[in-house]
Structure 1
């Protein structure tokens, strides 16, 4: 009789597990996959939501995404729609609406803790301009950012 009760209890628990999915098991998002595939220490920008089309990835800074030097070039300027910060130092990626090595103007930051932004909609530079499709340069900084991207 004990074997029958133990078997029934085991089958009941197995059936319950099939009906009620585990809450901790979630499907990986496209940005999760892109984050995991990106080499440590890199920043990446994408020309699509959900880390779709890679514009470029780098460990360095780029003061003009629209010129012909650096990882981001030419038509990359004002095209970023999603971002990843897989830095290893704890630094933030400071993103600018303008270009130049004076690093002035509207800016915002993506912290290492945020990891990625799957969409830049409703995110704003310190000047009030929306970040989506408006990034023209970036650099790594330790602290001090007027605005921080937040999903």
Structure 2
């Protein structure tokens, strides 16, 4: 009788895995693990959703992710699908859909409290352009000065 109850309980638990997929939990766990192991003071960008496909990290700004200078280079421009903020200064990271030190173009921010955006799909810059695969530069900026935050489209 005990074997039958144990088998039934095991099958019931296995069946729950089919009924209740863990995709969302696993995805957030991936960025959470990346956050836990990230170095303090850095902004990270990833080419894949859920903090996968490491593009780079930096404690500074970069006005053009597509040139050959700065922390992000060449193919990094317009290639980020997730971002992580483990800064220690209290500043937000402003990501921009434009290049140059005039910091023109659409923008949005990620605060230290938000930690990460595991999937930039569905979010837009202040200009209405998509954030997913649209980041061309970034800078650290006070939360008060940021204006627009990551926006749902």
TM bin (shorter chain): 0.7 to 0.9
Paired residues in the alignment total 127
> What is the TM-score normalised by the length of structure 2?
0.79
Greater CA deviation, 138-147 or 33-42?
138-147
User: Larger C-alpha radius of gyration, 1 or 2?
Assistant: 1
Superposed, 1:1-151 pairs within 5 Å as: 29-142=29-142, 143-149=144-150
Whether the aligned pair in 2 keeps the contact of 1:63 and 1:137 (CA below 8 Å) is yes
Whether the aligned pair in 2 keeps the contact of 1:114 and 1:150 (CA below 8 Å) is no
Q: Distance in 2 between matches of 1:145 and 1:128?
A: 16
Q: Gapped runs of 5+ residues in structure 1?
A: 1-18, 20-25
Secondary structure of 1:129's counterpart equals coil
**How far is the alpha carbon of 1:146 from its aligned partner?**
3.0
Q: Distance in 2 between matches of 1:132 and 1:99?
A: 16
CA RMSD, Structure 1 to Structure 2 (Å): 1.7
Secondary structure of 1:134's counterpart equals coil
* Bigger strand share: 2
Secondary structure of 1:47's counterpart equals strand
Cα deviation, 1:114-146, whole Å, max 9, x if unaligned, reads 000000011110100010000000000013223
Secondary structure of 2:126's counterpart equals coil
